[in-house]
Amino acid sequence: MIQLLFLVLVAEAAVAAALLFKTPLRKLAVMGIDRLKRGRRAPVAVKTVAGVVLALLASTLYSMAEISGRAGGDPESGGGGGGGGGSLSPTDQVLFSRHLLEASLMGYSLFLALVIDRLHRYIRELRGLKKNVEAVTKHNKMLEEAKHGRSEETKKYQEEIAALNEDMKKLKLQVQEKTEEVHVAEDKALAIRKQSESLLLEYDRLLEDNQHLREQLQSIDLRLSSSK
């Protein structure tokens, strides 16, 4: 389960990185996301996957809460009378660490999926706005060239040019706002990439702690068997 979540997280980070920078990979990523969103069944499938992940996340959080409640409610869970109330046994510590890692990975995966969806939407909107600006600019040039025609049509052309200039200003403002939103989304995605790298380091540390706890459990089992 953890290996699968790591693969999903790495894949989502790669897609987010491809969307952040203007490279040929961005076009491939946008085309791939477009194909995934096409059809009537695509939204249903996405919602189903998201619901399953949320259900798994809720189950993992419930297991963590149950382990914490077990430690707080059982004073003798520390073993042998030497541990105090509220302390986790080595087995519970391993389970709690595993559940914590799984919950973190699922949360980051859901957040990265949301970031990818927003980035894809902003990129599509920016492309549409740029096409509109180019069309308005071409039309404006045609009107300016035709401005030297008949005197009766000149006033109409001038009014249309003024209206088109206002539309161009509004479109440019929209492009600027969308560009700023994309920059904010890029900063968030970069922050997530840094957090995922730190999470990988934390995973390595947890593996070492897990191995150490297993060795402790084995030594405890050997002592119990020798005492019998």
- Give 147-163 pLDDT, tens digit per residue: 655 666 677 778 888 88
Whether residue 206 is predicted with pLDDT greater than 50 in this model: the reply is: yes
Rounded (10°) CA dihedral 51, 55, 60, 66: 150
Query: CA-to-CA distance for 194 and 83, rounded, in angstroms?
Result: 38
pLDDT score for 205: 86
* Residue found by looking up tokens 């084995």 in the block: 218
Question: pLDDT for 175-196, tens place per residue?
Answer: 998 888 888 888 888 888 888 8
The pLDDT tens digits for 55-111 are 888 888 888 888 887 766 554 444 443 344 457 777 878 888 888 888 888 888 888
Closest among 88, 43, 53 to 67, alpha carbons compared: 88
| pLDDT, position 146 | 66
Among 34, 13, 17, smallest CA distance to 25 is for 17
Please name the residue that has the structure tokens 């700023």. Answer: 180
Q: What is the pTM of this model?
A: 0.50
Q: Give the end-to-end CA distance of the chain in Å, rounded to a whole number.
A: 38
Distance from C-alpha of 161 to C-alpha of 139, rounded to nearest angstrom: 9
Instruction: With residue 77 as reference, give the H or E element that holds it.
Output: none
